[in-house]
A and B are shown apart, each in its own frame.
Chain A
Amino acid sequence: MSMIEIEGLNVWFGHGPDRVDAVRGASFSVARGESFGLVGESGSGKSTILRAITGLAPDWSGRVDIDGQALAGGKRDRAFFRKVQMVFQDPYASLHPRHSVDQVLSETLHLHGIPDIDARVRSLLDDVGLGGRFRFRYPHQLSGGQRQRVAIARALAGEPEILLLDEPTSALDVSVQAEILNLLTDLRAEHGLTYLMVSHDLPVIGHMCDRLAVMKSGEIVEVMDVGALRAMRAEHEYTRDLLAASVAPGPHSA
């Protein structure tokens, strides 16, 4: 059975003449344990889909099923957040600057109603490769990669089954990006997680995902598997352009 099932999803912002349709008629499904990518340029609506799933974009219509259960409106219950968690793009903005790593994680564990917080914080930090030394540090004492590890630990706190990853490495250096992507690969294998990952970087999606959907101005233009992506077998013209922009040699001809 599919873990995420989306059919005819429309998301809009504003109303009346100011209404902007950010996502129009998007449909795809992600199997349990699969890693699914959403690619497209900025403004194509890829992050908006994640936001609609988590309830951060309350104006939507269509059908979104998470593990067989239909979502409605912009409210999500606790059970939902135990199952679905999100990692945001910018680790500099997504951590509270005056909360230590320990506070961030224990508060999350407390909210999920998980007992034995002390031991869990330690094991979470080990899980994301940080270890106990980082437990009482504040975000400004951490590098970008370390912050993103904390954000991932926070997402994992409630032992979710689905991680929504919104450009998790685009604010990071390539060397750090490799570490975070490896960590995400390991965590998926260990915990049997399902990933829905948004990125504008085709090689990153190619590395992380099994299948992907290509978006352009709010619509999904193509759903393909990674084999087709690697073989450059794109059906839609826009995907071909995107592929060309990602791998083609630049203006070095002269």
Chain B
Amino acid sequence: MNALSRVFAREARLAWAGGGGAAGPAAFFLACISIVPLAVGPQAERLLAMGPGIAAIAALLAVVQTAERLFADDASDGTLELYVLMPVSPALLALAKVLGQAAATLAPLPVIAVIGGIMFGLDFAQSALVGLALLCALPALALIAGFAGALAAGVKRGGLLIALIAIPMMVPALIFSSGAGRAALEGEWDRAWATLLLTLAVSLGTMALMPFGIAAAMRARTG
């Protein structure tokens, strides 16, 4: 097992062992998409139009609410210092850590998004595309949350800082992932697939760049 798979596996295991795994984000996501109809009213057409956007917003908020714990515990218990002193690329280590946590905690969200889409009146194919778009967006959302979490680790009122940093950076992933669902809803499947690929491109770009930012933030927190 190489160093990165060790970090990935450990972070996933710790997320389940100590943090309740996927239960928190899944419950938050489910609660968000469930209470929207209560707030905006039961009109079927309105809910149908809002479905893809609500799923994307709920996912964004679910990811942001996990960000504070992502690095705060490591900063307070000394793990962050140890990580920085390991003979492993800090950026790759950050990537493995964040994706390990995301795999353990965020994996159910696309599945719930499919169910949510059906709840909002989308047919199965449209709902599946909403779930797939969310799956494509999750790496970007998780890494941006990781970056904000690393910057805010050990900072008082870190949650506010995370929201201010992360949410604006998540806007492209939000726009493309909800856009893919909207295009499917309008029957424009070519545009839906193209937008889905753009969502994936945002995630791949984020995976290429953001680990360096997270690594720099980790180092800044240990100095």
Does B bind A? no
Residues of A within 8 A of B (CB): none
Residues of B within 8 A of A (CB): none
